[in-house]
Amino acid sequence: MKHLSRIVTFAVIAVAGMAAPVLAQNQWPNKPIRMTVSSGAGGGLDFVSRLVASPLTETLGQSVVVDNRAGASGSIAADVTAHSAPDGYTFMMLSASLVVYGIVSKTPYDLYRDFDAVSQVAGGPYILTVHPSLPVKSVAELVAYAKANPAKLNFASTGNASLAHLAGELFGQTTGVHVVHVPYKGVGAALTDLLSGQVQFSFLSGGSIYNQVRNGKLRALAIASNKRAKVAPDTPTMIEAGVPGYLVNQWHGMLAPRGTPKPVIDRMYREIARALQRSEVVTRFEQDGTDPVGSSPQEFAVFLRDERDRWTRVVKSANIRIQ
């Protein structure tokens, strides 16, 4: 009887242990949630993160705290998140740049092994802009000018092996032109030299670029999207401008540490989708030239793999390395 009693006791403990995670999931969240952000304050990813953190805090009933972990193209935030407990209280907001960084660098984490996809939150297409001193008013004219003046046109990027760098390389590969890459440390520095004419063109995204176009300080030639932007309806897409298949999107999305309970991931995805339907959120995104997305975890996982495969081809073709 004592032996049977011990068996029953162990069984009760085992069942209780199995029930605890389920109970915790049902009660999730019951404390503040940390959202690591793979960039510093003030950038596009930070803007998106804070824009969705507010409605998430309201609907989840717990504070969603933005934790900026800038550095190494987002790798610092990714490493912190990958090693966090998969309990539903740590998520990470990342941009396309982190996928690119994983292609060209060895990292202490694997973006596709150590994380679970939650949702692609938003995306903003890059816009091809040139300094007004450049005598071109269309993509076709830019290509013709570049071919007539090989290696004499410079394009600015936000850093070596950044998405803006790959956008320029993809443009060269697609159109057959030879242009010179000039890397900068961030959007601000790249935009400063673009505005002064030190570099002739660039692929960048965000409201600051559209503002410079509206003010006549930059000339927009095309948008790297499959549809025109509401913020610049008169600017053609790259496809309309004669560059087939040219799509470059500075997207933003959410991941969780691998093993985060599926009910938690599904709840977070649903709340993100709800937040992106709010009129004030939609309006802020439109002003920034960004589109809300809200894809499912399954859709985002497929999207991430497609992005990795696509940019891997560009990196190999251009022989891009971290310097």
- pLDDT one-digit tens code per residue, 93-127: 999 989 999 999 999 999 999 999 999 999 999 99
Angle between the N-to-C axes of helices 262-275 and 2-26, in degrees from 0 to 180, rounded to the nearest 10: 10
**Which of 53, 155, 51, 161 lies closest to 103, judged by CA?**
161
Is residue 67 in some structural domain? yes
Residues 11 and 63 in one domain: no
| pLDDT value for 73 | 76
| pLDDT value for 95 | 93
Over the chain, what is the mean pLDDT? Answer: 90
Number of domains in the chain: 3
Average pLDDT over residues 136-160: 95
| pLDDT value for 21 | 47
User: What 3-state class would DSSP assign to 280?
Assistant: helix
Query: With 90 as the cut, is the pLDDT of residue 185 above it?
Result: no
Q: pTM for the full model? A: 0.86
Residues 159 and 119 in one domain: no
Residues 174 and 153 in one domain: yes
Q: Which residues pair with 250 in a beta bridge?
A: 124
Cβ of 320: how many Cβ atoms within 10 Å?
20
Q: How confident is the model at residue 204 (pLDDT cuts 50, 70, 90)?
A: very high
| pLDDT value for 63 | 98
Q: How confident is the model at residue 323 (pLDDT cuts 50, 70, 90)?
A: low
Amino acid at 30: N
d(CA 109, CA 39): 17
Is residue 314 in some structural domain? yes
Q: 54: which 2 tokens?
A: 């507010």
pLDDT digits (tens, 9 = 90+) for 215-231: 999 999 999 999 998 88
pLDDT digits (tens, 9 = 90+) for 15-39: 334 433 443 446 899 999 999 998 8
Residues 113 and 256 in one domain: yes
Is residue 232 in some structural domain? no
Query: With 60 as the cut, is the pLDDT of residue 194 above it?
Result: yes
Q: 2 vs 256, which has greater pLDDT?
A: 256
Residues 63 and 138 in one domain: no
Is residue 234 in some structural domain? no
Residues 5 and 147 in one domain: no
Yes or no: say if 221 and 139 are a contact pair by the CB < 8 Å rule: yes
| % of the chain surpassing 90 pLDDT | 79
Query: With 70 as the cut, is the pLDDT of residue 2 above it?
Result: no
Residues 41 and 113 in one domain: yes
Burial class (CB in 10 A: 0-12, 13-18, 19+), 31: exposed
d(CA 53, CA 66): 7
Sheet order of strands, 291-292 included: 64-68, 33-37, 90-95, 249-257, 115-125, 291-292
Average pLDDT over residues 64-73: 90
Provide the residue range defining the domain that includes 3. Answer: 1-25
Q: 138: which 2 tokens?
A: 């269309």
Q: Name the least confident of 23-32, 66-75, 179-188, 280-289.
A: 23-32
Is residue 240 in some structural domain? no
d(CA 181, CA 56): 40
Amino acid at 226: N
pLDDT digits (tens, 9 = 90+) for 223-279: 999 999 888 999 999 999 999 999 999 999 999 999 999 999 999 999 999 999 999
Spell out the residues 6+ positions from residue 207 whose beta carbon is closer than 8 angstroms to its own.
231, 287, 288, 289
Residues 60 and 137 in one domain: no
